[in-house]
Amino acid sequence: MYAAAEDDYHDDVFPVVPAPQDGTRWQAPADLEEHLYELIEADDGYGYLRALAVEGLYRPVLLTDLAAAPDAPPLFSVEVPDGRRVAQVYTAGLLPRPHPDVVYEYVTLGTLARQWPEGPDRIDVMVVNTQTPCEQYYLTTDEERQVWADLHDEHHRPGRIDDRVDTRRTGAPEGPVLHGLACGAHLCFANGAPWNTLDWHGAGYTNEVARLEEWWGVRDREEWRGVQERLLDREVSPWYWDFVLGARTAVLAEQGPPVDAELWRRCVEVTLRNRVVETGGPDVPHRPGDDPELDQFVDAMRALVGKVLRYEARFRADGLLPPDGHVTTVAAWDLGRASKMARWGRGARYATHRELVAALERVSHEARAAYASWPEFSAGYVLGRCLHFDEEEYGTWYTSVLRAHRTLTTDPDSPWQRVPFL
């Protein structure tokens, strides 16, 4: 079920981030850790807890413990010399490279408050981000945990940290791998997830496993590899989407702009019927009225031309396309998801680090072969998403990704402002 390559084993099971020794200010990996660092400097332990209540935490879990108690694995803790037990938790930006034997589970401050071990298994201290410059300790008395619960109830909201650009300040890769990560920016924005890290833990191990099963039917390594390969080969989206767009490209090459809609529809129909002849011979029914199923499919493809035209008109009105722009391919819809599938597979421990990197490099290559800019890539992704989900309702399947497009093409912190497309 798990992918355990020899080169995935390493000693960085828990984060160890020393403070600068030369007196310079510590470069935090992300905005949250920078904020926590400032709160420590201000001796504001309550503000620190409030920030944790908003964002949540990650706790290390041994996979052997998870296998023994999948619904309630114990908190990882150690006994210190004075006899007290200490449990360690971390914020997202400080999580280490994924390890084959240890995973990190997402947990809210409220859940920690209400499910903290009592009795003989009691843990006396919680340490946040131990062995880092933003380390902080809290006693776990009943009164203290009530403060945690109150802060959670006041500040934590599902989805509160979604729809944002989250850029790591340290540890990002370079070159095609970084470009491949940037190809998944739509989904990273929607989930409020960091776009430029290979140390992927996502929403926590169990949530990453559940995400893949719920949305993709992926339950193990082999199923993940199959979906990942199909996305990289652009075989998840229906072939006829790009076929219809390619027919317009052919008309443009022959006639020049603008393309008459009826001429485009005629090209689609003639090409489809000719392909039936090419594959089955001249005696195969292919003329209008010969084959009801073929006629029905041809009608659907002609109708798809109109759907694309209407979406593109809306895209131009909303600034997704320039005034004379159109979408040449929806390759980005599969490639953008392939970028995230590689990370989801890593978070679920179905993918090795080497497979993650190889997939991202391939995403980068395929994206650059299909498009010339991030706005072009984005328009292709949005059209694919709309054809897949929206049904010309222009509802949240469209408005949410439009919001992502606008931010990703303008925010100075966005991957598309930081990483050249070509």
Alpha-helical regions (H) of 56-90: 63-68
DSSP 75: P
Give 85's strand partners: 79
Q: Which stretches of the chain drop beneath a pLDDT of 70?
A: 1
Residue 400, burial from CB neighbour count under 10 angstroms (0-12, 13-18, 19+)? middle
The alpha carbons of the chain give a radius of gyration, in whole angstroms, of: 26
Q: CB of 320 within 8 A of CB of 379?
A: yes
pLDDT in tens, 265-323: 999 999 999 999 888 878 787 788 888 999 999 999 999 999 999 999 999 999 999 99
- Six-digit token pair at 165? 């650009």
Q: CB of 101 within 8 A of CB of 63?
A: yes
